[in-house]
Structure 1
Amino acid sequence: MARILVAGGGIGGLATALSLAQRGHRATVLERGEVFAEIGAGIQLGPNAFHALDLLGVGQAVRDRAVFIDELRFMDGTTDEKVAAMPLTEAYRTRFGNPYAVVHRGDLFQPLLTACQASDAVELIAAATVERYTQDADGVDVRTADGRTLRADVLVGADGIRSTVRRQLLGDGDPRVSGHTIYRSVIPIEKVPEELRWNAVTLWAGPQWHFVHYIIGGGRYLNLAVTRDDGARVPVAGRPVEREHVLGRFPGVGETPARLLELGEGWREWVLCDRDPVDTWTDGRVVLVGDAAHPMLQYAAQGACQALEDAVVLGALLEGGTGDDVARRLEKFNAERRERTGRTQLVAREMGTRLYHPAGRAAEERNAMLRSLTVDDLYDKVAWLHGARDFARAAGGPARG
């Protein structure tokens, strides 16, 4: 049994702690916040995420809170035309072995937290900000901002895109600012006209902008997320913004997406960031997972999914590992995950520029390309992501059904 410290008590950190506990280790999660809680709005979960959640023992609890949608729908945001749709019902679930669903972030976080709280092998410590680590041949020491020192066999950095653990491990500076600003709002479903309550994740694509919406909270809310490719260079996280400002930032928006945008209230803005893929996430007894290792833009809807995959793979590879064997196993985890996650990072980035934001002739060519694809073509394109069952498999390998 190894003693493992996990820096970060978000979705990735709790999933990692749960996975490690299931494999016979003791995990202590250090969360910088005063309480363990998840902020944010909607999140999409592909079949690969549900497979990971099932392996972690919380799949049904998340399903009980999820909204199972009928299709992913791509619309021309200037003409209101439906360009393409990928059905997510029987044929999709049969092929990929699980559903596609949307949830509020808290409805994914809470089952993980509850499972960790119920485990004798998981300790949760709030108000513990990791400041630095040191290590020797026998273990790793973690120093917190309030002066505590904790010792373990392994440190897992699950502390997000601005990871303190990554800063020491890689020293590669701040995240890359994407130049995209996203505005988010969550509104009660009763404020949405009946004819606009679609059981779909709908994306409206416009010139240098796109708009995504879907129902969350067991059908109680509509999640709105609208993105502007505006060249923003300064990071912003959750800043309140006036409704009029949001409505004025999306030129040429069609009649239906305009109606939906006008429903938004309590808007907040973020300037999106990611990082380039890197080869190395380990330093002896220290390893990175989730956004600390491979932060990605949300356009492939895979950030949380890949963090859950990390948790499952790391737990499996550390089963039975102790002492000098630990560093080798962490390197194996790094080697087995970096290609898949790196490809996902780059695909997400490309989707946000080449697929969602073209204008004029380029948008027409995109629409024609999407219309030419059959449903099976669409399934084939996402199979490497949605159909994965062996999460250590290299990117692009055949999915295991």
Structure 2
Amino acid sequence: MTSNVVDPNAGAIVVGGGIGGLAAGIGLVRAGVRVRLFERAAEFGEVGAGLQIAPNCTRILAELGLLDEVLALGVRPQSMVMKDAVDGGELTRLDLGDLEERYGFPYVVIHRSDLHGVLLREACRLGVELVNNAAAVAYSTGTDHAEVTFADGTTHRAELVVAADGLHSVARSLVSDDEPVSSSYVAYRGAVPIGAVREDGVSETDVVVHVGPGCHFVQYPLRGGAMFNQVAVFESPKAIAGQEDWGTPDELDAAFSRTSEEVQQGLRHMWRDRWWRMFDRDPISTWVHGRIALLGDAAHPPLQYMAQGAVMAIEDAWVLSQHAARLTDRIGRVDWDGALTAYQAVRPEHCRRVLTTARDWGKLWHLDGQERLQRNAVLTARETDDYAWIDWIYGPTALFPEDEPERYPQTSLASAAAEVSVPA
């Protein structure tokens, strides 16, 4: 037994104060569990700019009573539009009003820090105990508890430990010896006041994705339309060559040199003093080790092509807390072994599918030559009310796996493109 164990009677410890960790804390407290949440940074907060919240997540925010606040801080776009980044032509679109009618919940875009703030305020309101400056360095588990050791030498014990400690999770090493996988792609961001781009003729009502050879460009409004978010993503030749200094602004300019005027105008507003290299990890089938559960990027860091990273973390938290609530007896004792077994049964396969599909979509977005023309032909032939490619992700199947994948079979756009005959 560890001699310096702190608070051995805690119900649950959550490690990581990002979106997934806060969602876990909220869900578990609502299930009647006492929660202590540890964050390595000196303050709680999020970096980055915009993110997209699809109906498979807004249904959970509605259940938590947080959707109205999220809607007030974000934007409800009218459409999602995909364009060819080279010639600027529209390839396909989704009517997000129809999408809301189909799935029962809206599609929302919001600043990452705004969503984080909503969750942080709710965690405080519910009484989640928040601890800063706490970097986890080791995890261990027993038959009825788990422990986390922090950089200051203290060890904290609880009946459950949720490791929401991100891409470089320390806890993940308990179930896998894998390492992060570099995609060789890098992202530049630029969130600016809407007035700075309005004269460029940008859409203030839609999410627009320009897909091009080895690159893509995303645009959408934020903060009630007062801000405009843009993201430029490209494959780095320096990364492919194994150079340390990769993703630099000269590579940004070269990668988008063939793109349309619309994209060129947007590139002027990128932050050029910082960039984000894009990593994911290979899917793993085991997320639970004794009384330790991985959650969010610790379990399934994705590439961003499906806009499901934060969504999956919130789904994880919801599923785990719902099973904890379901398996709580009359005097408040949780059958954690049963809850973790149910969590393990529900989440890894769905998230494996998201991770691998995101990789495939990235390849599809970035085609060139004849393959690009084939892709464009497939997309332009799509009926606007065809939801075959997204039912499995936006529907409730992530929470009810017995309906998946038979109910919503996955459609391969790459396979379809190969079958299309493109006129010379």
Distance in 1 (CA, whole Å) between partners of 2:215 and 2:69 is: 35
Matches within 5 A, 1:357-368: 357-368=366-377
Matches within 5 A, 1:217-236: 217-230=223-236, 232=239
Which of 135, 140, 162 is residue 129 of structure 1 equivalent to? 135
Q: Please list the CA deviations of residues 143-181 of structure 1 after superposition, one character each: whole Å capped at 9, or x if unmatched.
A: 1101112110010011111111112x1242421111211
Q: Single out whichever of 30-39 and 195-204 deviates more from structure 2.
A: 195-204
Which of 352, 359, 365 is residue 356 of structure 1 equivalent to? 365
Are 2:44 and 1:36 equivalent residues in the alignment? yes
Which of 12, 37, 54 is residue 20 of structure 2 equivalent to? 12
User: How far off is 1:134 after superposition?
Assistant: 2.1
Query: In 1, are the aligned partners of 2:147 and 2:158 still within 8 Å (CA)?
Result: yes
Identity %: 34
Kindly tell me: are residues 324 and 304 of structure 1, through their superposed partners in 2, closer, same or farther at Cα, counting changes over 3 Å?
closer
Matches within 5 A, 1:128-167: 128-167=134-173
Distance in 1 (CA, whole Å) between partners of 2:78 and 2:392 is: 21
Q: Please list the CA deviations of residues 100-145 of structure 1 after superposition, one character each: whole Å capped at 9, or x if unmatched.
A: 111000111111100110113x111111111112222332221110
Question: Which blocks of at least 5 consecutive residues in structure 2 are unaligned?
Answer: 1-8, 409-424
Are 2:193 and 1:188 equivalent residues in the alignment? yes
Query: In 2, are the aligned partners of 1:213 and 1:223 still within 8 Å (CA)?
Result: yes
User: How far off is 1:380 after superposition?
Assistant: 2.6
Distance in 2 (CA, whole Å) between partners of 1:124 and 1:230 is: 39
Matches within 5 A, 1:89-100: 89=97, 91-100=98-107
Distance in 2 (CA, whole Å) between partners of 1:31 and 1:102 is: 26
Query: In 2, are the aligned partners of 1:130 and 1:142 still within 8 Å (CA)?
Result: yes
Query: In 2, are the aligned partners of 1:214 and 1:224 still within 8 Å (CA)?
Result: yes
Kindly tell me: are residues 261 and 289 of structure 1, through their superposed partners in 2, closer, same or farther at Cα, counting changes over 3 Å?
same
Q: Please list the CA deviations of residues 25-67 of structure 1 after superposition, one character each: whole Å capped at 9, or x if unmatched.
A: 0111110000111111110000111011122221211111110
- 3-state SS of 2:113 partner: helix
Matches within 5 A, 1:2-401: 3-89=11-97, 91-120=98-127, 122-167=128-173, 169-194=174-199, 195-230=201-236, 232=239, 242=249, 246-319=252-325, 320-321=327-328, 325-353=335-363, 355-377=364-386, 379-388=387-396, 391-393=399-401, 395-398=404-407
User: How far off is 1:15 after superposition?
Assistant: 0.2
Kindly tell me: are residues 2 and 16 of structure 1, through their superposed partners in 2, closer, same or farther at Cα, counting changes over 3 Å?
same
Distance in 2 (CA, whole Å) between partners of 1:7 and 1:28 is: 9
- 3-state SS of 1:80 partner: coil
- 3-state SS of 1:344 partner: helix
Normalising by structure 1, we get a TM-score of: 0.92
User: How far off is 1:248 after superposition?
Assistant: 3.3
Query: In 1, are the aligned partners of 2:347 and 2:398 still within 8 Å (CA)?
Result: no
Aligned partner letter, 1:116: A
Query: In 1, are the aligned partners of 2:12 and 2:159 still within 8 Å (CA)?
Result: yes
Aligned partner letter, 1:188: P
Kindly tell me: are residues 264 and 357 of structure 1, through their superposed partners in 2, closer, same or farther at Cα, counting changes over 3 Å?
same
Question: Which blocks of at least 5 consecutive residues in structure 1 are unaligned?
Answer: none
**Alignment: residue pair count:** 392
User: How far off is 1:69 after superposition?
Assistant: 0.5
Query: In 1, are the aligned partners of 2:46 and 2:116 still within 8 Å (CA)?
Result: yes
User: How far off is 1:236 after superposition?
Assistant: 9.2
Query: In 2, are the aligned partners of 1:56 and 1:312 still within 8 Å (CA)?
Result: no
Distance in 2 (CA, whole Å) between partners of 1:27 and 1:72 is: 38
Query: In 1, are the aligned partners of 2:188 and 2:270 still within 8 Å (CA)?
Result: no
Distance in 2 (CA, whole Å) between partners of 1:324 and 1:135 is: 17
Distance in 1 (CA, whole Å) between partners of 2:114 and 2:150 is: 29
Kindly tell me: are residues 57 and 329 of structure 1, through their superposed partners in 2, closer, same or farther at Cα, counting changes over 3 Å?
same
User: How far off is 1:330 after superposition?
Assistant: 0.8
Aligned partner letter, 2:85: G
RMSD over aligned CA atoms reads: 2.3
Query: In 2, are the aligned partners of 1:15 and 1:56 still within 8 Å (CA)?
Result: no
Aligned partner letter, 1:182: A
Distance in 2 (CA, whole Å) between partners of 1:97 and 1:85 is: 19
